[in-house]
Chains A and B, each alone.
With several copies, the nearest count.
Chain A
């Protein structure tokens, strides 16, 4: 890992990037579901955009514990989208006002609900962009994930683009079938893509001889898989890619941008290291290589 520089990030380095016309002071932002109001102070001066946990049309209690388990160089989680629901979220929208462009991540049980949420968000000027969490079960299709097939991905994206034409729309996909889904999303009108969500995983408790947790794997363990997804997709789509999965250092940020990402999100990595340190490391990397952030993305 790159050593921590004396200078703090930004002052001497051009970290700014542009995401569908939204100017970001740095290419880092929180991954959906990994930065809560209680920890907002970590965002200031570090992140280029704000992204709260996925919101659903109605409040969700979430899954019973255990919800997290450790894995080699990573963790498995099954939170169950615990959230207060769209209306409460919108009432408290100003809580997320930290002077950063606000991305809102949404999920729903049905295509029509996705579209309705976008329509509701259209009225909020403070919302800079919307991220569609397509890894949630599609109740109309027997609980199959929306991103299980390119057809449903296209369906959701098209419906949302129609009700929310004026704001950039990011489709967040899982690794399985990512290239086909990415193409489908872009053709249906997605302005950008967020790659990737957690990878389906299982943790077994050998002592109790039972399944301990069925959830999604994230953290450094999945970094090589995410980099592959970003790289392959960047070769077949036009729009910008937000890379997410396994970032825990400034060098990781550089790797994702080199592989084809315009910006990155930090999730599990922010639980074990300060995002500020990652940004400092990334800034040091840019200085050493005499590059500006925007020059790095899609280097190969």
Chain B
């Protein structure tokens, strides 16, 4: 563990990661103890950033699991990286759309797009209610991003999209934010621009075994359930059957 920062009810953990290099959009399973059987399950968290064998996680303190993870002096046990992340193959202008704590995976995504020489515009929603420390941290860690305060619009879910303007300018959209924002992006992108969407669903095994993390998708015309932990957490917008 190299650093543990707190911004109000958000936390950032940095640690050495000699293991497999993560793709943007992949996640890890994190817990604080193996001695205790409670909390029982590790917590899924997106890889926020990775460079020089250092990995970081950015999360909101929601309940006991994240509370323990954010606790000063707590051990950190991480497995991963897991799942299917963002696919960044086509080399043109792309847009990153984020909101709330879900901006987490976009840091590493921006970094690897950079490396691939893909230009990207980043738009991050900042909820009107966001604490000072949090807003400050966002603008600092996403210096090139356009921040979109959601009081700006009557419909927060569309705030970022409105700001984005003409979608066709972009080769693809990469979105990670509140569910409302994600479904807005899904609808807006349909038939106009390819979009990839980072989803979350409660997880248990994180290896495809339990079928707990069901995401409704279109499979050969039918509405079926895919598993966020192996077929996701990032899905092409067009397959989602929301």
| Contact flag (A, B; Cβ within 8 A) | yes
Among A1, A65, A75, A77, which residue has its beta carbon within 8 angstroms of that of B40? A75
A61 to B65, CA, bound (A): 31
Q: How far is the CB of B204 from chain A (nearest CB, A)?
A: 5
A220: which B residues are within 8 A, CB to CB? 37-38, 40
Q: How far is the CB of B179 from chain A (nearest CB, A)?
A: 12
B64: which A residues are within 8 A, CB to CB? 1
A73 to B205, CA, bound (A): 15
Q: How far is the CB of B176 from chain A (nearest CB, A)?
A: 18
**A273 engages B209 (CB within 8 Å):** no
A75 to B209, CA, bound (A): 15
Given the known interface contacts A61-B225, A220-B40, the answer about A34 and B205 at a Cβ–Cβ threshold of 8 Å is yes
Task: Say what secondary structure dominates the interface of chain A.
Answer: loop
A270: which B residues are within 8 A, CB to CB? 205, 209
Which residues A68-127 have CB closer than 8 A to chain B?
A: 68-75, 77, 79, 82
Indicate whether B185 reaches chain A with its CB closer than 8 angstroms.
no
Q: How far is the CB of B28 from chain A (nearest CB, A)?
A: 15
Count of chain B residues with Cβ under 8 Å from any Cβ of A? Answer: 31
Indicate whether B214 reaches chain A with its CB closer than 8 angstroms.
yes
Q: How far is the CB of A275 from chain B (nearest CB, A)?
A: 11
Q: Which of B42, B206, B211, B215 has its CB near the most chain A CB atoms (within 10 A)?
A: B211
B65: which A residues are within 8 A, CB to CB? 70
Q: Which of B35, B37, B224 has its CB near the most chain A CB atoms (within 10 A)?
A: B37
Indicate whether A142 reaches chain B with its CB closer than 8 angstroms.
no
Among A35, A39, A77, which residue has its beta carbon within 8 angstroms of that of B204? A77
**B202 engages A69 (CB within 8 Å):** yes
Among A38, A67, A70, A72, which residue has its beta carbon within 8 angstroms of that of B208? A38
Indicate whether A219 reaches chain B with its CB closer than 8 angstroms.
yes
B210: which A residues are within 8 A, CB to CB? 33-34, 36, 68, 77, 79, 271
Task: Say what secondary structure dominates the interface of chain B.
Answer: loop
B80: which A residues are within 8 A, CB to CB? none
Q: How far is the CB of B37 from chain A (nearest CB, A)?
A: 4
**B40 engages A73 (CB within 8 Å):** yes
Indicate whether A62 reaches chain B with its CB closer than 8 angstroms.
yes
Indicate whether B193 reaches chain A with its CB closer than 8 angstroms.
no
Among B39, B42, B209, B212, which residue has its beta carbon within 8 angstroms of that of A38? B209
A272: which B residues are within 8 A, CB to CB? 31, 37, 40-42
A73 to B223, CA, bound (A): 34
Closest to B231 in A: A38
B41: which A residues are within 8 A, CB to CB? 70, 75, 271-272
Given the known interface contacts A39-B205, A75-B204, the answer about A61 and B212 at a Cβ–Cβ threshold of 8 Å is no
Q: Interface code A260-272, partner B: CB below 8 Å = 1, 0 otherwise?
A: 0000000010111
Indicate whether A209 reaches chain B with its CB closer than 8 angstroms.
no
**A77 engages B212 (CB within 8 Å):** yes
Closest to B208 in A: A38
A70 to B223, CA, bound (A): 27
Closest to B230 in A: A38
A87 to B39, CA, bound (A): 39
A34: which B residues are within 8 A, CB to CB? 205, 209-210
Given the known interface contacts A74-B40, A75-B40, A77-B212, the answer about A65 and B201 at a Cβ–Cβ threshold of 8 Å is yes
B230: which A residues are within 8 A, CB to CB? 38
**B34 engages A273 (CB within 8 Å):** yes
Which residues B6-55 have CB closer than 8 A to chain A?
A: 31, 34-35, 37-42
Indicate whether B207 reaches chain A with its CB closer than 8 angstroms.
yes
Indicate whether B203 reaches chain A with its CB closer than 8 angstroms.
yes
A38: which B residues are within 8 A, CB to CB? 207-209, 230
Indicate whether A200 reaches chain B with its CB closer than 8 angstroms.
no
Among A65, A72, A77, which residue has its beta carbon within 8 angstroms of that of B37? A72
Which residues A230-257 have CB closer than 8 A to chain B?
A: 248
**A271 engages B37 (CB within 8 Å):** no
Indicate whether B216 reaches chain A with its CB closer than 8 angstroms.
yes
Closest to A71 in B: B40
Can you spell out 7 A-B residue pairs with CB atoms less than 8 angstroms apart? Answer: A34-B205, A34-B209, A36-B211, A38-B209, A38-B230, A65-B201, A71-B40
Given known contacts A65-B202, A272-B31, what 6 new A-B pairs fall within 8 Å (CB)?
A: A33-B210, A36-B208, A65-B225, A73-B40, A75-B41, A272-B41
What 9 A-B pairs are tightest by C-beta distance, nearest first?
A: A38-B208, A68-B212, A36-B209, A271-B205, A73-B37, A39-B207, A36-B208, A65-B214, A68-B204
